Structure 1
Amino acid sequence: MSWAQDIPTWQLVLLSIAGYVYLCRLLRYRRLHQKQALYPYKTREDYAKMTNQHAYEIQKYLYSVEFPFTTQKALEFALFRTYGIPSISKLLVNTKQLSDKEFASRRYADTSILIAEFMAWSPEAERTNAAISRMNYLHSLYQKKNLISNDDMLYTLSLFAAEPVQWVNRHEWRQMTEMEICAIGTFWKSIGDAMNISYTDLPSSTHGWRDGLDFYEELHSWSLQYEERAMLPSQYNKKTADETTALLLYDVPKSVIPLGRAVVSTLMDDRLRKAMMYPPPPPSIQTGVETVLTLRKLALRYLALPRPHFLRHGIISERADKNGRYHRTEYESEPWYMESNLRNRWGPQAWLKWMGGKPIPGTGSFKSQGYLIHEVGPKSQEKMGLKEFEIGKERLMKEGRGGCPFSVVK
C-alpha cells in the first residue's frame, strides 16, 4: 500500500493546490532573479552605465513576455491621455486624423506601427531608425507651422515612459524593479534625443541626469505639473476621445456601448475625465472593474505559470514578405495592414468579425499587402518625404544609438 493511500483525498487536493501555487511563485520569481543577474547593474551607481541596447532588451522582455497585456493597454492609454491636452486634440480635430471616422482607425494603426517598430528592434537596427525618421518627418509637417510645441512632444514622451510603469505597478502581479524603471527611462531618453526634443523645461537639463531612473522620475514629475496647467476641459478633447472610445468599443454590441463607455471612464482619473468632459462612472461599475483587475493580479501571482518565450507578444511581423513589406499580426477594430492569409481570413476572430458585419483581412481597402515604413502615415503623405526620410535614417544610423544616452548632455 502506497503512502498516498493513507492520506485523505481532501488533504491530497490541498497539498496539490499548495504545491502548484508554490511552483508558480517559484518559477516567476526565479525568472525575475535570472533577468536581474543577466545585466551588470547591481547598484544605483551601476545604473549610470546602462547602455541603450541593454535598456531596449530589458524593456522588450517586460513588454513582450513579462507584462504584455498590461503594457500594451498602458501604451494605448498613453496615446489616449494626450488627447486631454487641448493643443494636441485641436490639431487632431482640425486635421480630422482622429476626430473623423474616415481617418481615425488608420491613424491609430499607423501610430501603433511606428511605435512598435522602434520598440521591437535594437536601437541600431535599420527598422528602428527608419520608423523614427518617418515619425520625425510626419511631425515636422506641423512643427514647421508651429502647430506642435516642444511641450506637447515632451509630454507625449513622458506618457509613453511613465504609463506602462504606473499601470504595471497598479494592476500586475508584481511591481517593476528600479533596474527595470531605469531601463525604461534610458530607452525613452534616447527616443527623445532621436526626435530632437528639448529637455530645457526639466530641472536637470543643464547639468544632466544621474541615470535613467533619475531621468524617469524627473520627467514624470514634470508631466504631472504640466497636466495641472494644460489638461483642461475642451470640446476638442471630447470629440477626439469620443472617436477613440468608439475604436476601443468597435466590436461591442450597440446595446452594451453605454456600459463600455462607463468602463473606459473607470480607467481615467478625475483630471482626465473632466478634461474629456466625460461623466464619472456609476460606483458599481467602478467597483466591478477594480475587482476584476484585482482578481486578475492575484490569479497571475498565485495560479499562472510564467509566459514562455515562444508565446512572446508582438503586433508586427518579424520579417518582411517577398515584396519587402511588413504586416500587423493582430488588430482590434479595422484590419489595417493585416495579411490576407488562411488564419486571418478564416480563423475564429475573422468569423466573429464577419458575423458582426465587420471587415476582415483581405476585404476593403485596408492594405492587406502590408506596409513600407517610409510610407506609413496619412494617405496624402504615402509618397511624400522620401528624401527627408533617407537623410534622417542615415543620420540616426551613424549616431550609434546603442550606447549610454547620458554620456552627452542634451
Structure 2
Amino acid sequence: MEFHNHTLHEATASLPADESWTNFYIVILFLYPIVCALLRNHRLRTTFETFPYTTRASFASMTDTDAQQIQQIAAEIEFPFTFEKALQFALFRSYGIPTISKLLVATSQFSEPSTACKRYVDTELLISEFMGYKPTEERTREAIARMNYIHSGYRKSGKLLDDDMLYTLSLFVSEPVRWINKYEWRKLEDMELCALGTFWKSVGDAMEISWEKLKSGTGGKEGTWKDGLQWLEEVMEWSEQYEREYMVPNVNSMKTADETTTILLWGIPKSLKGVGKHFVSALMGDRLRNSMMYPKPPAYYFTLISTIFGIRKFILRHLSLPRPYFLRVHKVSDEPTKNGYYHTMNYVAAPYYHQPTIWARWQPAAWYTWIMGLPLPGDEGNKYHPQGYKIPEVGPDKMSGRGHDFANGVVEQLRSTRSGGCIFAAKNG
C-alpha cells in the first residue's frame, strides 16, 4: 500500500510539469506566426526606410543604382524562387512571337539540342550579371556590351526587329510582376514596381531600344514619362497589345518551346516528363499555349498548381521567417579566379561554368543528378567550361573571340551615359 501511494504521488506530481510543457507549446504555436509576420513586415519597412521613395512624387527622383538594389532585394532575398521562374518564362514567352522563333530556328541556337542548353545558360548568365551588380560596375557594362554585340548583326540585317527587342525587354520586367503578384506571399509595392520600371528602362536605353511605340515615347529616347512606374504601366500595356496581334500558332514557336521545355524539365525522371510538360503547359496561359501548338492539359493540373502555390503562399506568409542575407540566391561569383574567370553559383540544367568543387560533386543534390545519369560539374572534360567564364567571351561558339572592339566601344559609351543617377527627374524638374 505504501508503494502504491508513493507511485500515485509521483504521477500526480508530474501533472503540473506536463501541463506546463503543453502550455509552453501552445504559446509557441500561437506566437510563432506573429513573429514571422513581424519580421517580414520589419524587412519591408527597413527597405522603405533605406530608400527615400515613399510618395509618388518622389518616384521621379529614383536613381538607377537604387532601382537596381531594390530589385536585387526582391530577386535574391524576398522572392528568389518566383523571380527566377518568372525570368525563365519571360525568355520562354518571347518564343511565342513568330518573327522571334523564326530567327532562333534559323540560327539553331534555341531549336537544336546541341546548342539550346548553352545558349539558354549564356542568356541567363548575362542577365544575371547586369541585374546582380550596380549599373556603374565594369562587369555590368561588359555584360550589356556583350549582349549588344550578340544582337548587333541580327539588328543591322533587319532579322531582329525593333518591336521584338522592345517586346522581349518588356517580358523581363512584366513577368516578374505578374508571377510575384499572383503566386507570392505578398504583392509588389509601388516603390518596387517603380524600381523595376526604372531599372529596365535604363537597360533598354543601354541596349538602344526605341520607345516610340509607347504612349509617352514620342519624345525619342528620353520619352515623357514622369517616373519608372508610369513607364512600367505603359510597357506592360503595349506588350499585351503586341501579343494579341502577333502571338499566333507557329511551328517555329513549337520547336523552340520543345527544346526549352526539355531544359526546364532537365532533372525530371523520364517517366514523369509527360507530367512535367503538362505543368509547363498549364503555366503558359491560353495565348502562349496556342502559339506553341501545345494541347491544353487536363483541368486538374490547373487545380494542382493553384493548390500548391496557395499552400506555399500560406506557409511563407505565416510560418516562414524572412530569408537572411547570407542565404540570398545570387547567380554568379562575386570575385574572379586568379585567371580572371567567374563561375555560376547554381545551374538549372547542364553544369556550364560551374566550378567542380567537392561540395558541387558530392552534395545530396549531386547524388540525385548522378543517379539520373546527368552530368556533374567537371564531367566530360572542358565541355561545360569548368574553368568558368569571362564576360567578353560569353555567347555562341561562332562568336567566341570576336566583338571585343565593338564591346569596348559600348563600355566606353556606358561610362558616360549610364552613371547610376536618376533617369527621369532631369526632364521633370
Shorter-normalised TM range = over 0.9
Flag structure 1 segments of 5+ consecutive residues without an equivalent.
none
SS of residue paired to 1:333: coil
C-alpha distance in structure 2 between counterparts of 1:173 and 1:74, whole Å: 15
Contact 1:353 1:360 survives alignment (8 Å): yes
The reply to whether residue 211 of structure 1 matches residue 227 of structure 2 is yes
In the alignment, what sits opposite 2:187?
A: 175
* Higher deviation after alignment, 4-13 or 205-214: 4-13
SS of residue paired to 2:216: helix
Deviations 1:342-382 (A, max 9, x none): 11122222222222111111112111111110000000101
Report which of the two structures shows the higher radius of gyration computed on alpha carbons.
2
The reply to whether residue 199 of structure 1 matches residue 217 of structure 2 is no
The reply to whether residue 96 of structure 1 matches residue 103 of structure 2 is no
Flag structure 2 segments of 5+ consecutive residues without an equivalent.
1-12
The reply to whether residue 398 of structure 1 matches residue 416 of structure 2 is yes
In the alignment, what sits opposite 2:123?
A: 111
Deviations 1:113-138 (A, max 9, x none): 10000001100100000000000000
C-alpha distance in structure 2 between counterparts of 1:316 and 1:262, whole Å: 31
Shift of 1:401: 2.8
Contact 1:335 1:366 survives alignment (8 Å): yes
In the alignment, what sits opposite 2:8?
A: none
C-alpha distance in structure 2 between counterparts of 1:354 and 1:400, whole Å: 45
Shift of 1:408: 6.1
Shift of 1:6: 9.3
The correspondence for 2:296, drawn from 268, 273, 280, is 280
C-alpha distance in structure 2 between counterparts of 1:10 and 1:175, whole Å: 37
Contact 2:60 2:227 survives alignment (8 Å): yes
The correspondence for 1:322, drawn from 318, 323, 338, is 338
In the alignment, what sits opposite 1:251?
A: 267
The correspondence for 2:384, drawn from 366, 376, 381, is 366
Deviations 1:286-308 (A, max 9, x none): 11111001000000000000000
Equivalent residue letter for 1:29: N
Equivalent residue letter for 1:340: P
Contact 2:206 2:418 survives alignment (8 Å): no
Any residues of structure 2 matched to 1:46-85 within 5 Å, and which? 46-85=58-97
* Higher deviation after alignment, 10-19 or 245-254: 10-19
C-alpha distance in structure 1 between counterparts of 2:267 and 2:132, whole Å: 28
C-alpha distance in structure 1 between counterparts of 2:426 and 2:146, whole Å: 25
The reply to whether residue 235 of structure 1 matches residue 257 of structure 2 is no
Any residues of structure 2 matched to 1:101-180 within 5 Å, and which? 101-180=113-192
C-alpha distance in structure 1 between counterparts of 2:331 and 2:364, whole Å: 18
Equivalent residue letter for 1:368: P
SS of residue paired to 2:284: coil
Change (3 A) 1:408 1:234: farther
The correspondence for 1:299, drawn from 311, 315, 323, is 315
Equivalent residue letter for 1:378: P
In the alignment, what sits opposite 1:39?
A: 51
Contact 1:190 1:401 survives alignment (8 Å): no
The reply to whether residue 331 of structure 1 matches residue 331 of structure 2 is no
Fraction of identical pairs, as percent: 48
Change (3 A) 1:6 1:97: closer
Equivalent residue letter for 1:198: S
C-alpha distance in structure 2 between counterparts of 1:124 and 1:245, whole Å: 35
C-alpha distance in structure 2 between counterparts of 1:329 and 1:339, whole Å: 8
Deviations 1:48-102 (A, max 9, x none): 1100011011001110111111101100110000010010011111110010000
Deviations 1:168-202 (A, max 9, x none): 11111111100000000000000000000000000
SS of residue paired to 1:203: coil
In the alignment, what sits opposite 2:324?
A: 308
In the alignment, what sits opposite 1:381?
A: 399
State the TM-score, normalized to the length of structure 1.
0.97
The reply to whether residue 348 of structure 1 matches residue 364 of structure 2 is yes
SS of residue paired to 1:349: helix
In the alignment, what sits opposite 1:26?
A: 38
Deviations 1:113-169 (A, max 9, x none): 100000011001000000000000000011111010111010011110111111111
C-alpha distance in structure 2 between counterparts of 1:30 and 1:407, whole Å: 30
C-alpha distance in structure 1 between counterparts of 2:40 and 2:319, whole Å: 11
State the TM-score, normalized to the length of structure 2.
0.92
Contact 2:83 2:176 survives alignment (8 Å): yes
Contact 1:97 1:104 survives alignment (8 Å): yes
C-alpha distance in structure 2 between counterparts of 1:50 and 1:307, whole Å: 26
Contact 2:249 2:291 survives alignment (8 Å): yes
The reply to whether residue 263 of structure 1 matches residue 263 of structure 2 is no
Contact 2:148 2:207 survives alignment (8 Å): yes
Equivalent residue letter for 2:325: H
Equivalent residue letter for 1:95: T
Shift of 1:249: 1.0
Corresponding residue pairs, total? 409
Contact 1:202 1:218 survives alignment (8 Å): yes
State the Cα RMSD in Å: 1.7
Contact 1:93 1:99 survives alignment (8 Å): yes
Contact 2:94 2:168 survives alignment (8 Å): yes
